[in-house]
Amino acid sequence: MTTWQRVDISDEEFDSIEDNQQPGSEGLSSTPELLHGDFNSNAHHLADVQSQHKQVLVTAGMIPEEHIANVEPSLKLEWMVNELNGRINPDGLTIPLLGVEQGQVELYSRQIDNSIVLKLKITEDDGDTLERELTAPKGVTIDNLRASLVNDRLNLRW
């Protein structure tokens, strides 16, 4: 297991892939994961049921999501980004960090078992910290990982 390596965060904006790509817009080249994700994002009637189910699990101290996240790391990434009101883009992700200055944000990476794990650390003025770890999608390497903090948004691109 390697140690955490700091990822530089620039203050310049990156060009990104169009965000308006629709699942299935490329003919038969859509993947089941993309179609499933599109279905889940458009199934608004299920949000209340999922919220109540999660509330019951949290109250009971039973969180099966941890096992699911270990089996399918992309779900852990999605849950973490959603928790921070972010958005997953085709070439990375964007997380709003309103009121956070660049000096308060640290990003680290390390490789664990053929995958890249990122650690986001935000330190407030009073010393309180928020830390979140996420597993980058397959194919992401430390060399092609770029980060920027522009207009109160943390942009990670790979």
Q: From edge to edge, which strands make up the β-sheet containing 115-123?
A: 5-7, 105-112, 115-123, 129-135
Written as one letter, the residue type at 36 is H
Which pLDDT tens digit goes with each residue over 46-64? 777 877 776 666 556 555 5
| Residue 108: per-residue pLDDT | 95
> CA-CA distance, 65 to 45, in Å (whole number)?
21
pLDDT of the residue at 66:
63
The ranges of the chain with pLDDT < 70 are 1, 16-28, 54-73, 75
Plot region of 47 (φ>0 → left; ψ -120 to 50 → alpha; else → beta):
alpha
pTM: 0.62
- Distance, CA of 98 to CA of 106 (rounded, Å): 15
Please tell me the distance from the alpha carbon of residue 42 to that of residue 27, in angstroms, as a whole number: 20
Query: Given this model, what pLDDT does residue 149 score?
Result: 94
What token pair was written down for 111? 């490789």
Q: Kindly report, residue by residue over 15-26, the tens digit of the pLDDT.
A: 765 555 555 455
